[in-house]
Amino acid sequence: MSLAHVDPEIAELIKAEERRQADTVKLIPSENYVSKAVLEATGTVLTNKYSEGYAGKRYYEGQQVIDQIETLAIERAKALFGVRHANVQPYSGSPANLAIYMAFASPGDTVMGMGLPFGGHLTHGWSVSATGKWFNPVRYGVRRDTGRIDMDEVRDLAREHRPKLIFCGGTAIPRTIDFPAFAEIAREVGAVLAADIAHIAGLVAGGAHPSPVGHADVISTTTHKTLRGPRGAMLMADSDEHATALNKAVFPGLQGGPHNHTTAAIAVALKEAAAPEFSAYAHQVVANAKALADELLARGFDLVSGGTDNHLILIDLTSKGVAGKPAAQALDRAGLETNYNTVPFDPRKPFDPSGLRIGTPSVTSRGMGEAEMRQIAAWMDEVVTAVAKGDAEDVITRVHAEVSALTGKYPTPGLTA
């Protein structure tokens, strides 16, 4: 029986979310629209199967098909990123990162990562995360004058604290990550270097951001952001020793049975990402982010680091006289979906910060280009300026109508395309 028949309530809510996603200009940089093929693979009978272990060495029978699916996903990941080993089983980015800790550090060990308020992820040793509670985290940030990572600070901290593990990469970094510089520091202090490319994996795959391969010892990534796959994650490494440690940490260290429907969808996404169109997509994501950033700058917005090299823009709204949360809420009502975010050295609290984090992966998947980015910047300016004046209702209503006219022209991958 169909979903609509069995559970009309949930079926209708899913339809409502489909409409919301189609009608919105989705600017959240960690989100995307997966293809129909990826969606189709996730909704399959593969969800019925248990397969603890790895291909050829499972703890359940009946793996004739699952082994082939997982092996295909692994081979495609290896080919796409140019690595010798890949593990496609982590349930998501956070468990993937936990597996890195489990593989290369013990509770109480010193680890190093970018502080959350500067753009690092929770799992890079932030205090409320298990990684900050169970390890001894040392945190680096960005320079106050440039908004960019201070590699001298990273080197000094690493020399002083000699961490077992160093994380580079993050969740709100608008600039290119200097993998060779991190690798040199990690080598000097004898640390394992983990590159968390969750945000930029699609850009790396498409050749629009330098690759950490050949520099980082291990690489973690989610599969659902710029890579445009299902919610999931992968771990990659070149050395047999690192790969064995990661495999053991994922299973049996942290997880039980892999989510085989997700593995199949990851395989599909990796096939899509190997096509020439995907490289064009990745470069357009960056071109769109630059166009959006330039127009925001021209309209007096203050951008952390002064712009972007990738898919992501971090706006400090202080100069506009509005905090991030009311701005994000007003923009959402106007059909422009963003997320409020701390900015480096933010004097405000994390739940009511000064910034907005936006990005171009989703709008680029819909086929929008630089002209649409300039229009989006203009709408953002109108709404934020109106919120600052305390009289935004009419502007929100008008912009929402204009946004709907635009989204109506761009099909939503997976839904209307």
Contact (Cβ atoms closer than 8 angstroms) between residue 71 and residue 263: no
**How far is it, in rounded angstroms, from Cα 410 to Cα 408?**
6
Matching residue, tokens 């693979």: 41
Task: State which residue, 93 or 413, has the beta carbon closest to ligand PLP.
Answer: 93
Supply the residues annotated as catalytic: 50, 52, 196, 222, 225, 231
Distance, in Å, from the CA atom of 44 to the CA atom of 318, rounded to the nearest integer, reads 48
296 annotated among ligand-binding-site residues: no
- The residues pairing with 314 across neighbouring beta strands, listed in sequence order, are 357
412 phi, psi to nearest 5 deg = -95, 115
Rounded to whole angstroms, the Cα distance separating 310 from 289 reads 7
Are the C-beta atoms of residues 360 and 285 closer than 8 Å to each other? yes
| Separation between Cα atoms, residue 316 and residue 135, nearest integer Å | 32
What CA–CA distance (Å, rounded) separates 55 from 87?
A: 11
Nearer to ligand PLP, 191 or 235 (CB): 235
Q: What is the DSSP string of 122-166?
A: GGGT-TTSHHHHSSEEEEE-B-TTT-SB-HHHHHHHHHHH--SEE
- Ligand-binding annotation for 116, yes or no, is yes
Q: How far, in Å, are 28, 276, 406, 417 from residue 366 at the CA level?
A: 14, 17, 11, 9
120 is in an annotated binding site: yes
DSSP state, residue 33: -
Give the contacts of 324 (CB within 8 A, at least 6 positions apart): 317, 340, 341, 348, 352, 353, 354, 355, 356
Contact (CB, 8 A) for 205 and 273: yes
Give the interface with ligand PLP as residue ranges (CB under 6 A). 30, 92-94, 97, 121, 123, 169-171, 196, 198-199, 222
The answer to whether residues 82 and 207 touch, using CB atoms and an 8 Å cutoff, is: no
Binding site members for (6S)-5,6,7,8-tetrahydrofolate = 116, 120-122, 241
